[in-house]
């Protein structure tokens, strides 16, 4: 399974690599070399659920307890899953990328 490039519609990168995409770091498409990145909006949306679970684990459980580690683990996995499955890739410096849908 691969992430699809919005420019050339070919496989841009292995799907797990999407977890390393952030609004701060662009990555080149493996097929056409276009700089790909994500917007803050889609990034924050993708990691929102995992972050909330992370925060709950921090607030609810004793520091260093097994429950807290488990909750952190679940939050981390959800953040990664959100990035991999629910985060649209955009083209770097594409016109209106950050404004789209706002
Ligand atoms: Zn491409």
pTM of the model: 0.79
Cβ atoms of 52 and 69 closer than 8 Å: no
- The CA distance from 19 to 79, in Å, is 9
Would you say residue 101 lies in a domain?
Answer: no
- Overall domain count for the chain: 1
Domain extent for 15: 2-91
What separation in angstroms does the CA of 101 have from each of 24, 65, 75? 20, 41, 27
Would you say residue 102 lies in a domain?
Answer: no
- The CA distance from 36 to 43, in Å, is 13
Which pLDDT tens digits describe the chain residue by residue (102 residues)?
899 999 999 999 999 999 889 899 899 999 999 999 999 999 999 999 999 999 999 999 999 999 999 999 999 999 999 999 999 999 876 555 555 444
Would you say residue 6 lies in a domain?
Answer: yes
- What the block records as the tokens of 3 is 């992430």
Would you say residue 98 lies in a domain?
Answer: no
Would you say residue 99 lies in a domain?
Answer: no
C-alpha 24 – ligand 1 centre gap (Å): 19
C-alpha 4 – ligand 1 centre gap (Å): 8
Near ion ligand 1, which residues have CB within 5 Å?
5, 7-8, 29, 31-32, 34
C-alpha 13 – ligand 1 centre gap (Å): 9
Would you say residue 100 lies in a domain?
Answer: no
């Amino acid at each position: 399974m691969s992430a699809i490039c919005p420019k050339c519609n070919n496989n841009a990168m292995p799907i797990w690599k999407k977890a390393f995409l952030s609004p701060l770091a662009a990555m080149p498409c493996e097929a056409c070399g276009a700089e790909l990145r994500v917007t803050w909006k889609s990034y924050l949306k993708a990691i929102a659920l995992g972050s909330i679970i992370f925060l709950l684990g921090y607030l609810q459980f004793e520091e260093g307890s097994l429950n807290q580690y488990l909750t952190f683990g679940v939050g981390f996995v959800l953040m990664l899953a959100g990035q991999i499955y629910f985060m649209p890739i955009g083209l770097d410096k594409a016109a209106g990328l950050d404004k789209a849908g706002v």
